[in-house]
Amino acid sequence: MTEITCKLLVVGAGPGGYTCAIRAGQLGTDTIIVEAEKPGGTCLNVGCIPSKALIHAAGEYETIARAAEGESALGISTAKPSLDFARTIAWKDNIVRRLNGGVAGLLKRAGVRSVAGYARFRDGKTVEVETQSGRQMIHAETVVIATGSEPVALPFLPFGGRVISSTEALALTEIPRKLVVVGGGYIGLELGTAFAKMGAAVTVVEAAPRILPQYDGDLSDPVARRLTALGVTVLTGAKAKALVADGTALAIETASGEQTSLEADKILVTVGRRPATSGFGLETLDLDMDGPFIRIDDRCRTSMHGISAIGDVTGEPMLAHRAIAQGEMVAEIVAGRRRAWDRISIPAICFTDPEIVTVGLSPSEASSKGFDVKTERFPFKANGRALTLDREDGFIRTVVRADNHLLLGVQGVGTGIAELSAAFSLALEMGARQEDVAMTIHAHPTQSEAFHEAALKSLGHAIHI
């Protein structure tokens, strides 16, 4: 067994871990990162990136397929398209490969030593890694746990055979004829929509009374309507029960208590993710937990001196950009800089069709925090750019303090509005008031004008409505 030492050891090279290691390297910290799989973690390999590639491909295909059905309002007609799904997957895999190489290169350029293998904690400062060239013991002054998360399985529907998680869904070799999705949250709806657009007959089984229960109904309703238009069957208040005997269908109980079954070529289970905290010796450390997550303070320090934790392993929201921001902060703290978590908001985007963007507090969250709030919505049907895109569903909503007009939150639902999240976040982090948004010239014609108009409307003088 070889033994090496470093100042900073990062376990897990997902967006949290690799960002932490790169920033640490930039700051001159002697850093080692250990990764069991490919660099980039869930996000790059089996999450954000491959799912968005498939969503994009599916959108392109559906637009052409609709035109072929004579349903293009733009006057475009074409022959019935075909989809070479193997090529779609190869294209997606190539993007992932390029980014894998990119992350490895960035780590190297920052002077970070990468160790490939599964790390097991021996104590709070030491891990043992099974590498291809033998066992390696790594001693570190500071350790960052960035081991991420994994899909939750239902006890009566274990993964295997027709029952798949998002990881297998992103590596299918053909479009399932009948796809049943259990869980109408982020992953179920993003991937369910993509497969529906590519020709699968999709049924979503969601236990809550409506899809995307983490958002308010105003935001999820346009998505529900679009799912219906795409031919997706959405069963809310429904419970998955069991695989039926030959494994070709899913037994469910509907909202009205009816027992029935849904035939399926694949059953995609997307009922959440859980932090990766077991199987690598973490249990032997005396870390305080916060439910299933590792408890951290505002500097991402755990209850043990010299051990920090970042990313999905530390709690909700389990989003890549939260992990990235934590990773960067921890690297700077290790290098001696004064940093603490002081972010006003973590944006969230659901890449459904239409997309949902939320930044800061929703109206009900703001009210429950004791704020007297003023909420205003500007619909995309009054936005010229949305009309030119032939998609006028959705709106932008601002939530401000009634007394001083400070922006507390911005939410929206609309086609392709993910990129607006940056403007919303910047406004919140800069402490913008409604007047600041109103006094900012928003380029015409853009969907961002709906943000401007929502601010104007809140001030009582919207122009275009």
Residues belonging to the active site? 444
Please state, in angstroms and rounded to a whole number, the distance separating the CA atoms of residues 373 and 404. Answer: 10
188 binds, among ligand NAD, ligand FAD, none (CB under 5 to 8 A by kind): ligand NAD
185 binds, among ligand FAD, ligand NAD, none (CB under 5 to 8 A by kind): ligand NAD
Q: Is 12 left (phi over 0), alpha (psi -120 to 50) or beta?
A: left
42 binds, among ligand FAD, ligand NAD, none (CB under 5 to 8 A by kind): ligand FAD
Please pick, from the candidates 62, 128, 206, 312, the single residue that binds ligand FAD as defined by CB under 6 A. 312
Please pick, from the candidates 6, 9, 10, 11, the single residue that binds ligand FAD as defined by CB under 6 A. 11
Tell me the pairing of strands 126-131 and 348-350: unpaired
Please state, in angstroms and rounded to a whole number, the distance separating the CA atoms of residues 124 and 113. Answer: 20
Q: Which tokens hold the place of 141? A: 């002054």
Q: Which tokens hold the place of 398? A: 């601002």
Tell me the pairing of strands 289-290 and 201-206: unpaired
- DSSP E strand stretches across 50-195: 113-116, 118-123, 126-131, 134-145, 149-151, 163-164, 178-182
Please pick, from the candidates 349, 420, 432, 454, the single residue that binds ligand NAD as defined by CB under 6 A. 349
Give, in order, the Cα–Cα distances in Å from 132 to each of 6, 121, 376, 381.
Answer: 21, 18, 58, 58
Kindly tell me which of 237 and 445 has the beta carbon lying closer to ligand NAD: 237
Give, in order, the Cα–Cα distances in Å from 35 to each of 104, 117, 302, 400, 464.
Answer: 11, 6, 21, 44, 53
| Contact mark string toward ligand FAD, 33..72, x via CB under 6 A | -xxxx---xxx---xx--x---------------------
Amino acid at 22: I
Please pick, from the candidates 9, 119, 250, 454, the single residue that binds ligand FAD as defined by CB under 6 A. 119
| Contact mark string toward ligand NAD, 272..291, x via CB under 6 A | xx------------------
| Contact mark string toward ligand NAD, 312..331, x via CB under 6 A | -----xxx------------
| Contact mark string toward ligand NAD, 182..201, x via CB under 6 A | xxxxxxx-x-----------
HSE of 165 in the Cβ direction (CA atoms, 13 Å)? Answer: 17
Stretch that binds ligand NAD, among 10-18, 194-202, 241-249, 349-357 (CB under 6 A): 349-357
Contact 368, 409 (CB under 8 A): no
Please give the residue ranges that form the binding site for ligand NAD (CB under 6 A).
154, 182-188, 190, 205-208, 213, 239-240, 270-273, 317-319, 349-351
Please give the residue ranges that form the binding site for ligand FAD (CB under 6 A).
11-17, 34-37, 41-43, 47-48, 51, 118-119, 146-149, 166, 187, 276, 280, 311-312, 318-321, 323, 351
